[in-house]
């Protein structure tokens, strides 16, 4: 099976007597309250999804990632994974000390070794990572909402964040790896999504199934924009599609607990590396991957993979052009396979789909399966 990024699947969970002792220690330490993105990052660091990270980034790794898309040891990593201080928290922290990471309800989740407390320039981070400082960009809005003081250090996890949804779909990297091995899959393709799967997505996934042993449909269920379709609605759509239109012995549905950065090309690299940790060998990169608005070019997320040697990424990207239903061809196609003009192509933007649903109209069957359209219509009533 493919090796995790960096060669080892990280596990930062503490158990048994060590966990009991650390829980006692945690109650006496300064606390840092995590926001929703940080909670997602903490969980993914602990379970190995963000291997080789063992904690939130210290200053040297952070600055190297922002400037060169590499950790300070040279390993490819494209997105900062940072913990921001809240209000005056950092003043009670000492380098070399410890802090307890808690959720918004005050539950202690982890103990962190405080290795770095450092100040950053959010404008510079945004320009380098998001390629914009426009305050309309959701990533920039997030940066403006947090402190420019970051805290770095390894974590020891004593309790998982509480989840009230998708219990049977919350597979950690060690679990997906066992599942793929049990199924006898050697070539596994991952599909990242934060939207309901429409016919274009289905086309890409089934093309990937033609050249791999299995498909991991891995919808992101962490924090997204307020106007994105809720995760529970999306999950009902995925279940319906898999039940009726996919070979169920060749597809796994599992949730991806990450928060969206909307960082376009850089996030495409991040999404690929993380799926390698889940055991995937291939990764679908489609049109405007992880994009938002018009901040990124249609195929910028394809081009960025060319900035690295394939062995450095070590997961095979499958690049797909814009897919659509062509009335003249009578099937799904892309600009690589269809000779007809745009007037023959059925493509609807997310905005247009939301408008149709709000007006009581169902998107056409050429765009989305009727069962999916019905679920979306019911959810918008």
Residues labelled catalytic: 194-195
112: which strand partners? 99, 155
Pull the structure tokens for residue 227. 């106007």
Q: What is the SS3 assignment for 87?
A: coil
CA 94 to CA 178: how far, in whole Å? Answer: 41
157: which strand partners? 13, 110
- CB 346 within 8 Å of CB 367: yes
CA 324 to CA 199: how far, in whole Å? Answer: 8
The three-point CA angle 89-90-95 to 5° equals: 140
CA 50 to CA 77: how far, in whole Å? Answer: 10
- CB 252 within 8 Å of CB 179: yes
CA 153 to CA 150: how far, in whole Å? Answer: 10
- The continuous run of DSSP H or E covering 103 comes out as none
The phi and psi torsions of 326 (rounded to 5 degrees) equal -105, 120
């Amino acid at each position: 099976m493919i090796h995790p990024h960096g060669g080892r699947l990280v596990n930062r969970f503490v158990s048994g007597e060590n966990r009991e002792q650390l829980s006692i220690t945690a109650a006496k330490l300064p606390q840092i309250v995590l926001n929703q993105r940080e909670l997602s990052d903490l969980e993914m660091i602990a379970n190995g999804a963000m291997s080789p990270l063992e904690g939130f980034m210290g200053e040297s790794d952070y600055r190297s990632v922002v400037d060169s898309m590499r950790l300070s040891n040279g390993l490819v990593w494209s997105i900062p994974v940072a913990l921001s201080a809240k209000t005056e928290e950092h003043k009670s922290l000492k380098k070399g000390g410890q802090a307890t990471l808690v959720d918004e309800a005050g539950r202690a989740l982890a103990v962190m070794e405080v290795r770095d407390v450092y100040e950053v320039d959010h404008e510079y981070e945004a320009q380098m990572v998001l390629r914009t400082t426009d305050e309309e960009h959701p990533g920039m809005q997030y940066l403006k909402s947090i402190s420019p003081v970051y805290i770095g250090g390894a974590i020891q996890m004593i309790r998982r964040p509480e989840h009230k949804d998708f219990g049977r779909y919350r597979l950690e990297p060690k679990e997906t790896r066992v599942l793929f091995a049990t199924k006898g899959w050697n070539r596994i393709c991952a599909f990242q999504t934060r939207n309901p799967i429409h016919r274009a997505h289905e086309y890409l996934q089934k093309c990937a199934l033609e050249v791999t042993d299995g498909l991991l449909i891995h919808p992101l269920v962490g924090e997204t924009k307020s106007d994105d379709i809720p995760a529970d609605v999306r999950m009902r759509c995925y279940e319906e599609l898999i039940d009726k239109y996919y070979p169920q012995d060749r597809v796994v549905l599992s949730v991806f607990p990450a928060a969206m950065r909307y960082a376009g090309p850089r996030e495409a690299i991040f999404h690929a590396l993380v799926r390698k940790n889940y055991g995937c060998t291939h990764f679908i990169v489609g049109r405007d991957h992880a994009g938002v608005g018009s901040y990124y070019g249609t195929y910028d997320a394809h081009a960025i993979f060319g900035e690295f040697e394939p062995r450095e990424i070590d997961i095979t990207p499958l690049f797909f052009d814009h897919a659509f239903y062509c009335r003249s061809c009578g099937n799904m196609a892309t600009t690589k396979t269809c000779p007809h003009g745009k007037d023959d192509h059925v493509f609807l933007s997310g905005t247009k789909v939301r408008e149709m649903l709000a007006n009581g109209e169902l998107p056409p069957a050429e765009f989305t399966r009727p069962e999916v359209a019905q679920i979306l219509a019911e959810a918008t009533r």
